[in-house]
Amino acid sequence: MYPSQALAECIIDSLIAGGIRDFVYCPGSRNAPFAYALARYDSLSESPIRVHIRLDERSAAFFALGLTLGEGSASPAARACVITTSGSAVTHLYPAMSEAFYSHLPLVAISADRPAELHGVGASQTMTQRGIFSGRVVEEWDFSSDTAELASVPGRVARALAAAAGHPSGTPGPIHFNCAFRDPLTPRDEAEAPQSAQLRDNCGGGVEVYPSLIVREPGAESALNPDLATVVIAGHGAQDSVLRWAERSRVPVFAEPMVTGVSSDVLIPFQQTLCADSDVVARIGQIVVTGRPTLSRPIQKLLASNKRVIIVSAYAAWTDLHGKASCVVSSLTGSDRVNTDIQSSLCEDLSARAQSVARGVDELINSYGDEPSEIGVLDAVWQECSHIFLGASNPVRVADLIAGRQGNDLQGNSESSDHRGPQRVWSSRGLAGIDGNVSTALGWARLLEETTECPPTVHAVMGDLTFLHDASGMGMPLGEEFPRCRIIVLDDQGGSIFKSLEHGQRASQTVYERYFGVAQRTDISALAAAYGAKIRRVSSMSELRAILTTEADGLEVLHLSISRPTADIAFLRSL
């Protein structure tokens, strides 16, 4: 076996041994040894892996990111890997690697590289790739096809996968392998090496790495002041144990829409609206923060106020934008107690205020009748869909303003509510960008298809610019079928998110439309059809609701023309 092929075989075998099950491969020449290694598994009648071929490296990386989204955060072990050739192809992974880093997702990226002697001499498709993701990976490893290094590959891969899972740092995240291949880049025989000799020699001596405690524990004494009225703010990646503690302790929870599973007994919807109310803010004396709240300016203003803030984080890089944390703990314990009477009174007060806001939301939704609106669409999606992907622009913000309202029973009896609510909601909040949203949603849908007996449809709601930005993510090779995914494109002719920010007030209409709105001339339906998606133009809410009650047939794109939701967002925040 030629050295480059031996290295590729050993890395792939070691990754599979370490639990990687999905490989997203981008065609190229320098990374071809990996193609032959993957093809060997593809040829098996019962392959332990799935191989996905994608042309666009950026979309491929976000597709792999979607494949890392399990049904919960209990097991952060890496399961997906994206592989590219050398040169500029590697740079296209940067957005997804950055998103994975700030979302603490264990994405594995492999780049092929030229050997050392081809660097600095003008060789084609050659650039410095070492350190390209500096500050955006938890580990980076260089591999060469020198025969002397092959024996160390399984152990190094095991250590890298442990780092991706957060051991021993406590912080999971993406890792990068940069692999220098020398010619020849093809195997002597495609049938050779049923398993790499290096892996067989090393399979008995794995590396065990244990997580360490990285933030101080509260110890025997409570981290909380029991005499202060306490709320939980739950952001992206909120710990389920904190949500269960809140339920037991009658502590109200303000949750971003990505946080599901909060008991209706303590879930307080409309967090942006309520936390902008000075009377509500005055009632709160203590805040427990779990996850990474990034969505709401009123929430950030609350966290910056003179309240006692306790952050519960399993990661060293905990979120404390304003440096106001009184205490940082890795978990809450039995000693962390609050005053039941104070909490019951606070829950009742906040629930009553939420009910008042709910009536205003109902009036706004009803004012549209059967005409599609962003708030109406998201309300319908929230009622009917189990797995929701939210575009990182207006959809996630509108969802944050209305999510959970159906569970806000006006009589305060959670058992009488017929609210189902989604099982899982995802939005790429690590960097909150629109990069790769289509690809991430499709990757998630593929994961559900591969791991669920009756895979649900992923419903991805996004604006027209978000959809167009990653339309190439719909590219699929012949012979590979789309997973069940329904992309709902809310077409308001451009980037209306900026209208609800300061730019909407300060920029002239001409400047706004040219530099912020950026409406596109692309025919969305024709573009989606060109990629093989099934297209539906939806013109009424009754038509949309009927569609949402069915499962998607492969990839479906629902194209809805709507008005810009700027006035609605302002109204909801003012309720």
Q: What tens digit of pLDDT does each residue of 227-247 get? A: 999 999 999 889 999 999 999
This prediction's pTM: 0.86
Pair 275, 307: CB distance under 8 Å = no
Lateral strand order in the sheet of 175-180:
50-53, 22-25, 80-84, 108-113, 175-180, 139-144
Task: At 488, list the tokens.
Answer: 């709902």
Cβ pair 524, 468 in contact under 8 A: yes
Query: In terms of pLDDT, which residue wins out, 284 or 125?
Result: 284
Residue 491's contacts (CB-CB under 8 Å, 6 or more residues apart) are 463, 464, 524, 559, 560, 561, 562
Residue 409's pLDDT band, with cuts at 50, 70 and 90, is very low
Predicted local distance difference test score (pLDDT) of residue 461: 98
Tokens 């934008």, residue? 321
pLDDT value, residue 499: 81
Q: Please provide the CATH number assigned to the domain covering 230-350.
A: 3.40.50.1220
- The count of other CB atoms within 10 Å of the CB of residue 75 is 11
CATH topology of domain 3-202: Rossmann fold (3.40.50)
Tell me phi and psi for residue 224, to 5 degrees: -105, 155
Percent of the chain with pLDDT over 90: 64
pLDDT of residue 323: 79
pLDDT tier at 192, thresholds 50, 70, 90: low
Q: According to the model, what pLDDT value does residue 503 have?
A: 78
Q: Could you tell me where in the chain the CATH 3.40.50.1220 domains are found?
A: 230-350
Predicted confidence (pLDDT) at residue 259 exceeds the cutoff of 70: yes
Q: What is the pLDDT of residues 516-558, one digit of tens each?
A: 888 999 999 999 999 999 999 999 999 999 999 999 999 999 9
- Of 343 and 197, the structure prediction assigns the larger pLDDT to 343
- 186 backbone φψ class: left, alpha, beta (φ>0; ψ -120 to 50): beta
Topology, domain 368-574: Rossmann fold (3.40.50)
Q: Bridge partners of 143?
A: 179
The pLDDT score that the predictor gives to residue 451 is: 93
In the prediction, which pLDDT does 199 show? 47
CA distance 221 to 149: 51
Tell me if 280 sits within 8 A of 274, measured CB to CB: yes
Spatial separation of the C-alpha atoms in residues 80 and 63, rounded to whole Å: 9
pLDDT of residue 444: 97
User: What is the average pLDDT across 92-118?
Assistant: 95
pLDDT tops 70 at residue 75: no
Local confidence band at 91 (pLDDT 50, 70, 90 cut-offs): very high
End-to-end CA distance of the chain: 70
DSSP secondary structure, 220-258, as one string: TS-SS-TTS-EEEEE-BT--HHHHHHHHHHT--EEE-TT
Write the CB contacts of 343 (distance below 8 Å, at least 6 apart in sequence): 229, 230, 249, 250, 251, 252
Give the pLDDT of residue 202: 45
| Percent of the chain whose pLDDT exceeds 70 | 91
Weakest mean pLDDT among 26-30, 163-167, 452-456, 501-505: 501-505
Rounded Cα distance, 95 and 99, in Å = 6
Phi and psi angles of residue 486, each rounded to the nearest 5 degrees, phi first: -120, 115
Per-residue pLDDT at 42: 87
pLDDT tens for each residue of 147-168: 888 888 998 998 899 899 988 7
Is pLDDT above 70 for 29?
yes
> Residue 105 pLDDT > 90, yes or no?
yes
**Residue 204: per-residue pLDDT:** 42
**Cα(497)–Cα(104) distance, rounded to whole angstroms?**
26
